[in-house]
Structure 1
Amino acid sequence: MKVLATAIASLSLVVSLAVHAEQKPMPMPDDVRKVAPALEKYTQDRLLGEVWKRPGLSARDRSIVTLAALIARNQTIEMPYYLDRALDEGVEPREISEIVTHLAFYSGWSNAMAAAAVAKDVFARRGIGPDQLPQASPPLLPLDEAAEAQRAERVGQQFGRTAPGVVQYTTEILFRDLWLRPDLAPRDRSLVTVSALIAAGQVAQIPYHLGRAMDNGLSQAQAAEVLAHLAFYVGWPNVFSALPVAKDVFEKRAH
């Protein structure tokens, strides 16, 4: 048994080293220039030099939006750079932890696990320990009982007979637990959700969550700037698919 355990441990080490050997760092400007000089110029001049400096959204918010998009699309190669940038722009480690956890439900468990693996190395390098992370089961924020009852009734009537398990977990886990975790402000949690939905092209879910984001304090001007920012990170087609939906939400709220 000891020999078998040693062999398994050795194999695990080999696999781990192979995985890390295959991982590539984020391309440096010189590397990009050797392949696509125009892309490197757009990156430096437009994306980093202009978009990130637009006044409609804080650098902290832009970091949250970008991380949500990368996690939603399972794009890990640039994640270390943007995790560092988020921490430098004031996003707390506990908030990054909550973003990863939140997106397990909105972008899938595997995407969140991949992001956690990247964040682990960034946290270790920066000396971020367990004392800076949220509790697994903290005291929850107060629940708006009336609003949640209306949401649960509406969803139950629509889908209770179609998929009772989905309806049950939506109420029990998402809206009576996940959304009430205190280490990510409701506005920021909404910002993460809306960004992930746009990144994934999930336009049918945007009206509810964009409305909720604005109820939680995201202004229309900020929401519009999220769209402009995401065009560079998730592509113009995904953003243009979201534009009619956002326009409809804005117009309905105006009336």
Structure 2
Amino acid sequence: MQEPPSLAELKSVAPAFEHYTTHTVLDGLWKRPQLTPRDRSIVTLSVLISRGQTIEMPLHFRLALDNGVKPAELSEIITHLAFYSGWANATAAAGVAKRIFDERGIDANQLPLADVDLLPLNQAAEEQRARMVDENFGAIAPGVVQYTTDVLFRDVWLRPGLAPRDRSLVTASALVANGQVAQIPYHLNRAMDNGLTQEEASEVLTQLAFYAGWPNVFSAMPVFKEVFSKRASLAR
């Protein structure tokens, strides 16, 4: 398993990069109180998995476990991102996670089964979503529409191994990381409906700036701004 370079190795190649890594990221960003270390780990792993960046995965799988992300939750994050970033990226992440699980003595008894009792379905909201998608895209890609309803929203999203808020956090992070801004309004609203606060959502962007890059975050910020503004208007 390839491990990321040490701070000393970074310094031997790019002293400024090592400085920013140590002082700005590790001693600064990760200690900001607006988001818990657990949430920062979920956001960061979502970026790494969704972009297939395996070099830092060992470090961040270990850190996530240390920050309170349960093995079952890591398993569900990988499964969830198979749908939102592709099977190959999830497969690569599973290979790294297997080695970390072995290292930590994590076995199948700590992981969710394939067949589980699902969370209750919000029937009205799901019917509205399914109807809108079918009207817009049913004639374009009926197979995609069918799997979106049957597998994604009426199965994956209802698996209890990852709280709905955390699934939304994973999804929104992956969308920003991959520059998929068109999907952000729906999933950011869903995240906030599931309990993510505006302050937390704002800080997610700050975390993502370092791990997904400034351009992706600046592309996402107008979308976040619009969602925040519309929700504030509705709350008045």
**Bucket of the pairwise TM-score, normalised by the shorter protein:** over 0.9
Q: Gaps spanning 5+ residues in structure 1: where?
A: 1-22
Report the counterpart of residue 47 of structure 2 in structure 1.
69
Provide, for residues 137-188 of structure 1, a one-character-per-residue CA deviation record: whole Å limited to 9, x for no partner: 1000000000000000011100011111111000000000000000000000
CA distance in 2, matches of 1:242, 1:212: 16
Residue 130 of structure 1 is matched in structure 2 by: 108
Task: Give the CA deviation at 1:223.
Answer: 0.2
Matched with 1:8 is none
SS of 1:141's equivalent in the other structure is: coil
Q: Deviations over 1:15-64 (max 9, x none)?
A: xxxxxxxx532100111101100000000000000000101000000000
Paired residues of 2:50 and 2:81 also in contact (CA < 8 A): yes
Letter of the 2:66 partner, please give it: D
Q: Deviations over 1:83-114 (max 9, x none)?
A: 00000010000000000000000000000000
Say yes or no: does 1:112 pair with 2:90: yes
- Correspondence 1:220 to 2:198: yes
Aligned to 1:78, the other structure's residue is in SS state helix
After superposition, give the CA deviation of every residue in 1:164-222 in whole Å (9 maximum; x if it has no partner): 11110000000000000000000000000000000000000000000000000000000
The amino acid of 1:43's aligned partner reads T
Q: Which residue is 2:11 aligned to?
A: 33
Per the TM alignment, residue 74 of structure 1 is displaced from its structure 2 partner at its CA by: 0.4
The answer to whether the Cα contact below 8 Å between 2:3 and 2:59 also exists between their aligned partners in 1 is: no
Aligned residue number for residue 9 of structure 1: none
**Amino acid in the other structure paired with 2:80:** H
**What is the alpha-carbon distance in structure 1 between the residues aligned to residue 200 and residue 112 of structure 2?**
27
Q: C-alpha distance in 2, partners of 1:207/1:134?
A: 30
Q: Tell me the matched-pair count.
A: 233
Separation in 2 of the partners of 1:26 and 1:108?
24
Letter in 2 for 1:48: L
Matched, 1:53 2:31: yes
Kindly indicate whether residue 91 of structure 2 is the aligned counterpart of residue 81 of structure 1: no
Instruction: Give the letter for the 2:7 counterpart.
Output: P
Kindly provide the amino acid, as one letter, of the partner of residue 203 in structure 1: V
- Residues 174-189 of structure 1: pairs in structure 2 closer than 5 A: 174-189=152-167
Aligned residue among 90, 93, 103 for 2:71: 93
Paired AA for residue 37 in structure 1: P
**Identity over aligned pairs, percent:** 65
In structure 2, distance between residues paired with 1:183 and 1:235: 29
Gapped regions of structure 2 (runs ≥ 5): none
Q: 1:148 — aligned with what?
A: 126
Pair 1:167 & 2:155 matched: no
Deviant stretches of 4+, over 4 Å: none
Letter in 2 for 1:34: S
CA distance in structure 2 between the partners assigned to 1:85 and 1:31 by the alignment: 20
